[in-house]
Amino acid sequence: MTHQVSTVITGIGELATNDPARTEQGGLLGLVSDAAVVLEGSRVAWVGASADAPAADVQVDAGGRAVVPGFVDSHSHLVFAGDRSAEFEARMTGQPYTAGGIRTTVARTRAATDEQLTAHVARLVAEMRAQGTTTVEIKSGYGLSVHDEARSLAVARQFTDETTFLGAHVVPAGTAPEEYVDLVTGPMLAAAAPHARWIDVFCEDGAFDVDQARAILAAGSDSGLRGRLHANQLTYGGGVRLACELGLVAVDHCTFLSDDDVAALASSGTIATLLPGVEFSTRQPYPDARRLLDAGVRVALASDCNPGSCFTSSMALCIALAVREMRMSPAEALHAATAGGAAALDRDDVGVLAPGTSADLVLLDAPSYVHLAYRPGVPLVAGVWQAGRPAL
């Protein structure tokens, strides 16, 4: 057997584990103070008191600083070309956000080479990693042709296993909606499915309605893809209830929710993924996280990094917004950005630091995770380990 390099990080002032076995003493985040973690190969091998830490090949002294699980960003659209800063500027001076801007990015993305798209995704993934994101989901959705959706996913696949086919983002210019749904559920799905784990639909006025979303998710399921939805971002509608009825793992945005939507989320166990960077960047009202949490809904936080509605890759910003604007506690927000994101991807190997999980950790230049919200905009990431290797 080849020797696996081990690393011990000692002197961790505050370790957030998210380990359910530690919540009795350590609260929601399973906090351990004066802690140490041992990484062996790509996995966490040991978690405990710093004074009891075993020896390892490499020793790192955290010097009393905090360590948290790597962020799990369960919603991003990184495969695109061009930017829409002019649209953002117009929005900040009074224009509303509409889904129509997506078509601008589609034209730019189609015109880009595979190499240009790959280099751009690589840059954004590196930007995310430097800010503590160690797992990212990446959607297609700016190709909207058989060829461009398949190549978008092939590009995304080079960076993550969590790839999502979003051919049903909007209907491309010049195509009839029924014709486009047939394309998405037929040849486009066939070309995309080998590169994707998930299928997603933008279920919203101006994009796809509930019946279309249902048909697209059913076709995806027949091809072995698991469903997720963009829903209730811009208006009230049936998307969230559809996600709950179908038992989807997650439904994302959840900005405009009726009491029935909240009840459906609470009883189905479908995770509500909130994307506060979108509301920040579109001047929409923030989703009511408190209402969801108080109703017993499981909540995740993700960036939605995309060139239109929200061009941030910072999970720390999402945490700060969730705390300041959505009345989540700092612990709830960190949990939602780590274990919550993992649950939204149906993963139990990330988002938690316990023996056997993926060794994805962030060392903060701060004594406590609370600083993620307390010091908004400040780059607090002092170290990142991804699958046991230093990544920063």
Binding residue ranges for Fe(3+): 75, 77, 230, 304
Half-sphere exposure of 216 (CA within 13 A, CB side): 35
With contact defined as beta carbons under 8 Å apart, do 264 and 231 qualify?
no
Rounded Cα distance, 96 and 88, in Å: 10
Q: Does 212 bind ligand NIG (CB under 6 A)?
A: no
Residue carrying the six token digits 């751009």: 120
109 binds, among ligand NIG, Fe ion, none (CB under 5 to 8 A by kind): none
Question: Which residues are known binding-site members for N-formimidoyl-L-glutamate?
Answer: 142, 306, 308
Q: Which of residues 297-336 bind Fe ion (CB under 5 A)?
A: 304
Q: Does 279 bind Fe ion (CB under 5 A)?
A: no
Please identify, among the stretches 3-11, 100-108, 290-298, 344-352, the one whose residues bind ligand NIG according to the rule CB under 6 A.
100-108
Which residue type is seen at 213? A
**Closest CB to ligand NIG among residues 22, 84:** 84
Buried b or exposed e, range 81-107, using 16+ CB within 10 angstroms: bbebeebbeebeeeeebebebbebbbe
Rounded Cα distance, 371 and 368, in Å: 6
358 binds, among ligand NIG, Fe ion, none (CB under 5 to 8 A by kind): none
Instruction: Return the structure tokens found at 37.
Output: 């973690």
Please identify, among the stretches 3-11, 144-152, 217-225, 296-304, the one whose residues bind Fe ion according to the rule CB under 5 A.
296-304
388 binds, among ligand NIG, Fe ion, none (CB under 5 to 8 A by kind): none
Smallest gap from Cβ 66 to Fe ion, in A, equals 30
In three-state secondary structure terms, 384 is strand
Longest dimension (CA), the chain: 67
Q: Does 131 bind ligand NIG (CB under 6 A)?
A: no
Q: Which residues bind Fe ion (CB under 5 A)?
A: 304
Q: Which residues bind ligand NIG (CB under 6 A)?
A: 77, 101-102, 105, 202, 230, 233, 278, 304, 306-309
